[in-house]
Structure 1
Amino acid sequence: MVHSTATLALFSAVLGAVSAVPAPQPGRFTVNQTRNANFKRHGPAQVAKTYLKYGRPVPSELAAALGMTNAKRSKGSVVSSPQEYDSEWLTPVTIGTPAQTLNLDFDSGSSDLWVFSTDTSSRYVNGQTQYSPSKSSSASKISNAKWSIAYGDGSSSSGIVYTDVVTIGGLSVSKQAVESAQTVSSSFTQESDLDGLLGLAFSTLNTVTPTQQKTWFDNIKSSLDSPLFAVDFKAGGVPGSYDFGYIDSSKYTGSITYATVSTRQGFWEFVASGYAVGSGSFNTVVSAYWSTVSGSRNDNSAGGYTFPCSATLPDFTFGVGTARIVIPGEYINYAPYTSTTCFGGIQSSSGIGINIFGDVALKAAYVVFDTNGPRIGWASKSL
């Protein structure tokens, strides 16, 4: 998740998940995304999930829209599918000795590595793989350490903390803080294929008390050739990749343009230099985007902007310094809402207070998260 101080929300939620590719050399490695076959895109649910993630109440019209959708499911007109709230990409990560494999989300909008575990009350478990510290010879409980994350619906996830070996792409942190859930928000309980989250934001966001813990990336970055990671997401359900410790010049065109990152809130936050819709001027107001789409409307019954699925959406351009990143219009068609109406991939984030560049934007570029600076780099690529 990338944040901007400008006026835009291009959702959705987390960075996704990966499977390891053998490291070409020590200090750098690439991991490829692995798609959750159960995932089904559902626009209102993903917007609500974003509000909850950032501890904000879901807007009443969006909550009502989800209530209506749930009612339709109960009547049988829409197939009941908790996967609509799921994460699209799942991540095999190994924890402990011997290794236990759990599927985690990589999330650049948080800084906790938390998992379902044998400490998790059975009423919160719904088929997830559970980390068992008692079966790991390298696990050690941190005395008196606790963690807790509150969500906008009043729910929370919380628990105790261990240190253990955590390995991704062949590189291991021997004493990584692993936050073991005792209670879990129902939104995560519904995601039966998701075993936890791995945060990639700055460690100042970590919720462990009384002593904050470092993220896996902060612990491993000194072992990398460069203290950075880069993402190359793809559209159309095609697996993308993450590069840790290096920049792969074959994955982008032209040059990378960097923007300074503010760590004040612990996020990868930068200032976009402007926006344009279609072939309009670069300073076009973002809210004008949907006004260019015939038949689009801010639909209270859907909890956001919808449009006729037959419509051709204009491209959306945003600036990073003097560079321009173009998001193709077809990427902004997030998902069908009804048989003829689709849900937009650009939605308001006014109730969150920050603006989020999620996978809709990330799929349109090669993006570098560099802790030197810190800074974030964007480059165009072949789409």
Structure 2
Amino acid sequence: MSLTLIPIFKAEGFVRENTLGRWAHTLRKFGLTQISPGLSSTSYQAVVPLVDVDFDKEYYGIVTIGSPEQSFKMQFDTGSSRFVLSTMGCDQCSGDTHFDPSASSSFRPGSKEPWEIHYGDGSFASGIIGRDDVTLGNITVRQQSLNLVTNESTSFDDTVDGVMGLSFGRLSSSTTIFESMMAQKQVARGVFGFYFGKRSLNGGGEVVFGGLDMARVQPGHTITYTNVTHAQYWKVAFRNVIVYGRPLLAKSDEGRRSRMFPAVIDTGSTLLVVPEWIADQIHARIPGSRSFDVTWTVPCNLMTGQLEFDIEGKRFAVPSVDLVREQTNIQGLCYSAIQSSPAGFMIIGDVFLKNNYVVFDQENQRVGFAPALLDT
């Protein structure tokens, strides 16, 4: 099997959803409601370039489907498991390009039963099941199950044409695209790695299927692995959260840490969405932060200090500058990249991931982390 690079791109253009919209998107997905060059190994098989949509809000990669191939912008989402794609005939479906099953000679109908999903905020999507060939770089997955959207609420409108779920298939009683790669022996290892670029540093990024790209890791660092605790999502246990050098839990609380900081690693979320008590304590230690209606704000000029997560005794950082989102209607205050939810776990999105290289090891049910070597 030959080596293929599949980048992640940054799209030029406007994403309608701001910080509050991306927060709502994450809550909805989890059923929550609330007011490169230098590839270092031949063990992987495909590297997909990723595009960053409008200043680190959302990333997508190019995927082709069917015969002849139809090309789509897909979000690669470790927080879901279905392969969801907008279709022709759906008037208000997401994206610019919609899949036409009738134009593909390799398309096969799936279950005769329609599928649908509803959320507590009233949003929904529904459609039919089909199967077709999906190509990422030099890998072609034969007859992948597709959730084809024929109707959706306007709140689903987005830049991407679809979502490629990369959590565990048991989450939705389905087979993910990566599980299909493994079953069809298209990858040498049951591992994939994400690198997210920053718009401020020329953007871009990549996802590697079948291995990892150590050229994306800061020199002198190795991958730190921690086991998945609940193999539906990529859910792990962080040991602590450190804000400006001060941990939220003291050493005397060590026995409680695995219960206090469960975390889902979600490439399909933009922000850090955490339980309310964690959001309260983090912002209490950030100078100038304020509660603003049901959300949190921080000073727009927040430049020093950092937020860190303790994973297996090592710290992985998010600099303060990345905790600042867009301006509110109050002079000098911007929305915080850390927002709260009623869930008992943290949702670790792109705010963290664009500073750290992350490896999803499906074979061994673990997640690996290393400080990312960012483009300059």
Q: TM-score, normalised by structure 2?
A: 0.79
Which of 102, 114, 122 does residue 146 from structure 1 map onto?
A: 114
Which of 293, 302, 306 does residue 315 from structure 1 map onto?
A: 306
Cα distance in 1 for partners of 2:239, 2:105 equals 51
Which of 211, 225, 233 does residue 258 from structure 1 map onto?
A: 225
Distance 1:143 1:52, change over 3 A: closer
* Maintained 8 Å contact 2:145/2:175: yes
Structure 1: segments with no counterpart, 5+ residues: 1-24, 61-82, 207-211
Which of 240, 243, 250 does residue 208 from structure 2 map onto?
A: 243
Q: Which residue in the other structure is 1:184 paired with?
A: 152
> Given the alignment of the two structures, is residue 358 of structure 1 paired with residue 349 of structure 2, yes or no?
yes
Cα distance in 1 for partners of 2:30, 2:95 equals 26
Q: Which residue in the other structure is 2:197 paired with?
A: 234
Alignment of 1:19-98 (within 5 A): 26=2, 29-40=4-15, 42-57=18-33, 59-60=34-35, 88-98=58-68
RMSD of aligned alpha carbons: 2.3
- More strand, by proportion: 2
Q: Which residue in the other structure is 2:186 paired with?
A: 223
* Maintained 8 Å contact 1:142/1:161: yes
> Given the alignment of the two structures, is residue 293 of structure 1 paired with residue 260 of structure 2, yes or no?
no
> Given the alignment of the two structures, is residue 160 of structure 1 paired with residue 128 of structure 2, yes or no?
yes
> Given the alignment of the two structures, is residue 272 of structure 1 paired with residue 238 of structure 2, yes or no?
yes
Q: Which residue in the other structure is 1:75 paired with?
A: none
SS at match of 2:359: strand
Moved over 4 A (4+): none
Letter in 2 for 1:235: K
Q: Which has the higher contact order (CA 8 A, sep 6+)?
A: 1
Cα distance in 2 for partners of 1:263, 1:119 equals 38
Q: Which residue in the other structure is 2:266 paired with?
A: none
Which of 329, 333, 344 does residue 336 from structure 2 map onto?
A: 344
Q: Which residue in the other structure is 1:201 paired with?
A: 167
Distance 1:112 1:352, change over 3 A: same
Distance 1:328 1:113, change over 3 A: same
371-380 or 280-289, larger mean C-alpha shift: 280-289
1:126 offset after TM fit, Å?
A: 6.9
1:109 offset after TM fit, Å?
A: 0.6
Letter in 1 for 2:204: P
Q: TM-score, normalised by structure 1?
A: 0.78
Using the aligned pairs only, state the percent identity. 30
1:374 offset after TM fit, Å?
A: 0.5
Cα distance in 1 for partners of 2:204, 2:301 equals 26
Cα distance in 2 for partners of 1:295, 1:381 equals 29
Cα distance in 1 for partners of 2:93, 2:208 equals 33
Distance 1:381 1:155, change over 3 A: closer
1:133 offset after TM fit, Å?
A: 0.8
SS at match of 1:197: strand
1:51 offset after TM fit, Å?
A: 1.3
Cα distance in 2 for partners of 1:373, 1:126 equals 35
Cα distance in 2 for partners of 1:307, 1:126 equals 32
Q: Which residue in the other structure is 2:254 paired with?
A: none
* Maintained 8 Å contact 2:86/2:95: no
Q: Which residue in the other structure is 1:171 paired with?
A: 139
* Maintained 8 Å contact 2:93/2:149: no
SS at match of 1:48: helix
Cα distance in 2 for partners of 1:381, 1:172 equals 29
> Given the alignment of the two structures, is residue 102 of structure 1 paired with residue 72 of structure 2, yes or no?
yes
Cα distance in 1 for partners of 2:14, 2:76 equals 16
Deviations 1:132-158 (A, max 9, x none): 111110001014243222223122111
* Maintained 8 Å contact 1:30/1:244: no
How many residues align? The count is 321
Cα distance in 1 for partners of 2:81, 2:95 equals 25
Deviations 1:67-113 (A, max 9, x none): xxxxxxxxxxxxxxxx99x9632332111100011212111111111
Distance 1:232 1:166, change over 3 A: same
> Given the alignment of the two structures, is residue 334 of structure 1 paired with residue 321 of structure 2, yes or no?
no
Which of 366, 371, 380 does residue 362 from structure 2 map onto?
A: 371
Cα distance in 2 for partners of 1:246, 1:138 equals 29
SS at match of 1:270: strand
Cα distance in 1 for partners of 2:4, 2:10 equals 20
Distance 1:87 1:234, change over 3 A: closer
